[in-house]
Amino acid sequence: MDKLLYTGKVKKMWATADPEVLRVEYTDIATAGNGAKKDHFAHKAELNHTISTLIFKYLGQNGVPNHLIKSISERESLVKKCDMFPLEVVTRNVAAGHFSTRYGLGEGKVFPTPVEELFFKSDELDDPLMNESDAIALGILNHEEHETIWKISRQVNQLLSDLFDRAGMQLVDFKLEFGKTHDGQIVLADEFSPDNCRLWDKKTKDHLDKDVYRRDLGDLTTVYEEVLKRLENVEEA
Ligand code: C5P
């Protein structure tokens, strides 16, 4: 029986017989507002796991180092064990969400170059915004590691903006998390799903991400199924 290491807001991490390998299990839970809102959606685990696996495989095939080893069931994957940086690495192509509220803007302004933001991952402090020198001062990473996570984030933005564009969606913004493997390599970890990015329909600008849940705009499962269907159609094309 594998040992449960950690229960996150929407995923569980299990140890395996191999000390360098963990098993990640997706759950049907959705949360918003740092856990203030929480609900269950049947099949959300399978949807996010399938979407994230498809995207991590695509990124891996295109040279982005990441933690995925393989998917082992509809809602579980084996991943490389990582020492995680306590950071949320956010890239924004279009004004939305907290960027819009912070600067008193409407949503939809396309930025001339992507906005890059770091947040300190801390539920108690509500994930405060931080800059590179804050992160270095706190001993979270060094300058070279900071360069590496942004180099990978920019590569992810280019690859996924193109992939989602081909699937009829605009990649508005997204959050990545990074870790270090036992041999010191910095890799993309966590997940990439409509839970941690904003996707708008290219034509109608309809929300195809967790904002439908955050803002009570529609049914989360229907929207996530639509995202998966569009991605699978691109993959097959
Ligand atoms: O809320 P905000 O506008 O800062 O979110 C920017 C992007 O980061 C969104 O795609 C959101 O889904 C993602 N995010 C996340 N987890 C958080 C905060 C933001 O996945 N804790």
pLDDT greater than 90 at residue 205: yes
Q: 97-146, pLDDT tens digit by residue? A: 999 999 999 999 999 999 999 999 999 999 999 999 999 999 999 999 99
Pocket of ligand 1 (CB under 6 A): 88, 90, 97-99, 127, 173-175, 196-198, 210
Compute, in angstroms, the gap from residue 90 CA to the centroid of ligand 1. Answer: 7
Q: Per this entry, what is the length of the chain?
A: 237
* Residues 201, 95: Cα–Cα separation, whole Å: 15
Q: Would you state the structure tokens that stand for residue 16, as one six-digit string?
A: 């395996």
Q: Would you state the structure tokens that stand for residue 191, as one six-digit string?
A: 């997940």
Report the residue among 153, 196, 214 best suited for mutation to probe ligand 1: largest number of ligand atoms under 8 A from its CB.
196
ipTM of the complex: 0.98
* Amino acid in the structure at residue 93: N
Question: Does the reported pTM lie above 0.95?
Answer: yes
Please, which residues bridge with residue 199 across strands? 171
* Residues 131, 116: Cα–Cα separation, whole Å: 10
- What's the pLDDT band for 6 if we cut at 50, 70, 90? very high
